[in-house]
């Protein structure tokens, strides 16, 4: 009986899940169309590239859409079952609410694994393909797509940290260059401003500092203009830089470790690292919250179920985006920034399940 019940409850989720999934992906594509249509007009983006950018971003959309579809499916299926008194009947027969939740948790776990698999395999490849088109067809300036507090390695091993980027002027502000090729101790070059073009980086108004034993300053020289030649063009270097969406967990973790090795912190990248887990796990967390709420409001009708779905989706992603923004801007610990919305939902869900079970 329990096995039959398991498959019956699971089957009720299939149709609303795919309706929610397709609906939310269409919504995200529509939102993106507003951005790309402007690029078609202003930058002359061709139709083929326009379509490819959208198609290549669908796997990334799935990572966000799957939890939404899962929540929509649970609320709609539970509303339908409870409006027909099926959930009540099961509880009268002695089946505890914990067991009724189980099929949905198994589905949530499966969807979490699917999301994580997509994030580690298909999404990095598809986002790299999409970003390549964006760089070639839309953003042709080398620095235009970089974030603030950017960190990257040059082919010869030099490390560059850029605190601010003026995308309008194509200038870098507050640059630090660490050169480990000058001996046992590094040479540190700092500058207030700089530009990167062709096969060189030009720095203005800075200092060249040589470090000696135990980190003491060996020598320091001031410069007004310093030209650093490159083995490959700036365009080629920036083409190879990846956004967090283009990286697997292991790649992003390695980049975070590299930054921490030189005594720096990048909360933006660290928050993105934890998001690799928190987004897939939201499939399980949202089940624990939405399922008891759906049972409580099922008798109010399907309109209330639909309203509840929209409200929970809005509330979850609003709080999620708020905490992530705090993390990226060094206001909140990166781990809490990525997981706090999940923890709040989990706590609320456990309390509601306890109330229903009493």
11 & 129 share domain: yes
Of 222, 240, 258, which residue constitutes the final position of a domain? Answer: 240
Question: Do 275 and 130 have their domain in common?
Answer: yes
Q: Do residues 90 and 198 share a domain?
A: no
48 against 38, higher pLDDT:
48
Task: Name residue 247's beta-bridge partners.
Answer: none
Looking at the fold, whether 198 and 74 belong to one and the same domain comes out as no
- Cβ-Cβ contacts under 8 Å for 150 (sequence gap 6 or more): 161, 162, 165, 241
Asked which of 103-107, 132-136, 150-154, 281-285 is least confident by mean pLDDT, the reply is 150-154
Model confidence at 86, pLDDT cuts 50, 70, 90, reads low
Q: Does some domain include residue 253?
A: no
Q: Are 185 and 99 contained in the same domain?
A: no
* 247 assigned to some structural domain: no
SS3 of the chain: helix, strand, coil, percent, to 5: 65, 15, 20
Residues 307 and 191 in one domain: no
274/130 same-domain check: yes
Whether residue 163 lies inside any domain: the answer is yes
6 and 121 together in one domain: yes
Cα radius of gyration rounded to whole Å, the chain: 26
- 312-357 pLDDT tens trace: 888 888 888 899 889 888 889 999 999 999 999 889 888 888 877 6
Q: Is residue 168 part of a domain?
A: yes
- Residue where one domain finishes, among candidates 199, 225, 240: 240
pLDDT at 138 over 70: no
Residues 123 and 151 in one domain: no
170-189 pLDDT tens trace: 678 888 888 877 667 778 88
pLDDT of residue 3: 63
Write out the H or E segment, with its range, that includes residue 141. Answer: none
* Per-residue pLDDT tens digits for 234-288: 666 666 677 788 888 988 888 888 777 766 677 888 898 999 999 999 988 888 8
Beta strands in the chain (DSSP E): 150-153, 159-166, 171-179, 187-197, 200-211, 217-229
Question: Rounded mean pLDDT of 156-181?
Answer: 76
Edge to edge, what strands does the sheet with 150-153 contain?
150-153, 159-166, 171-179, 187-197, 200-211, 217-229
Whether the model pTM is above 0.75: yes
Instruction: Identify the domain containing residue 190 by its residue range.
Output: 147-240
CA atoms within 13 Å, Cβ hemisphere of 119: 26
If one compares 15 and 151, the residue with the highest pLDDT of the two is 15
Tell me if 226 is assigned to some domain: yes
If you write DSSP's letter for every residue of 293-304 in order, what string do you get? HHHHHGGG-HHH
33 and 117 inside one domain: yes
Q: Is the pLDDT of residue 59 over 90?
A: yes
Using 50, 70 and 90 to split pLDDT, how confident is the model at 196? confident
Assess whether 116 and 173 both reside in one domain: no
Q: What is the dihedral of CA 29, 30, 32, 33, to 10 degrees?
A: 120
Q: Say if residue 120 is in the same domain as residue 7.
A: yes
Domain tally, the chain: 2
Average pLDDT, the chain: 80
What pLDDT is recorded for position 88? 67
Roughly how many angstroms between the first and final C-alpha of the chain, as a whole number? 24
């Amino acid at each position: 009986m329990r096995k039959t019940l398991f498959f019956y409850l699971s089957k009720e989720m299939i149709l609303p899940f795919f309706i929610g999934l397709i609906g939310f992906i269409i919504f995200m594509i529509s939102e993106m169309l507003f951005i790309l249509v402007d690029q078609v007009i202003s930058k002359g983006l061709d139709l083929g590239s326009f379509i490819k950018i959208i198609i290549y971003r669908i796997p990334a959309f799935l990572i966000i859409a799957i939890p939404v579809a899962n929540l929509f499916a649970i609320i709609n299926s539970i509303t339908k079952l409870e409006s027909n008194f099926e959930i009540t009947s099961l509880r009268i027969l002695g089946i505890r609410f914990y067991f009724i939740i189980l099929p949905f948790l198994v589905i949530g776990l499966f969807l979490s694994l699917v999301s994580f698999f997509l994030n580690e395999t298909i999404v990095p490849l598809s986002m790299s393909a999409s970003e390549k088109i964006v760089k070639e067809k839309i953003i042709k300036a080398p620095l235009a797509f970089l974030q603030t507090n950017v960190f990257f390695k040059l082919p010869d091993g030099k490390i560059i940290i850029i605190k601010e980027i003026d995308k309008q002027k194509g200038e870098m502000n507050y640059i630090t260059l660490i050169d480990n090729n000058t001996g046992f101790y590094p040479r540190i070059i700092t500058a207030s401003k700089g530009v990167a073009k062709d096969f060189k980086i030009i720095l203005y108004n800075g200092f060249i500092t040589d470090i000696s034993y135990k980190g003491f300053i060996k020598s320091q020289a001031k410069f007004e203009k310093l030209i650093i030649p490159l083995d490959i063009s700036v365009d080629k270097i920036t083409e190879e830089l990846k956004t967090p969406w283009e990286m697997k967990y292991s790649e992003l973790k390695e980049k975070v470790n590299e930054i921490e090795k030189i005594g720096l912190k990048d909360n933006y990248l660290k928050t993105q690292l934890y998001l690799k887990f928190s987004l897939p796990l939201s499939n399980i967390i949202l089940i624990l919250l939405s399922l008891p709420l759906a049972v409580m409001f099922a008798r109010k009708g399907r309109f209330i179920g639909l309203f509840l779905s929209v409200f929970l989706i809005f509330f979850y992603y609003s709080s999620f985006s708020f905490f992530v923004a705090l993390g990226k801007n060094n206001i909140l610990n990166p781990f809490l920034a990525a997981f706090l919305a999940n923890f709040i939902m989990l706590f609320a869900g456990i309390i509601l399940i306890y109330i229903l079970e009493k």
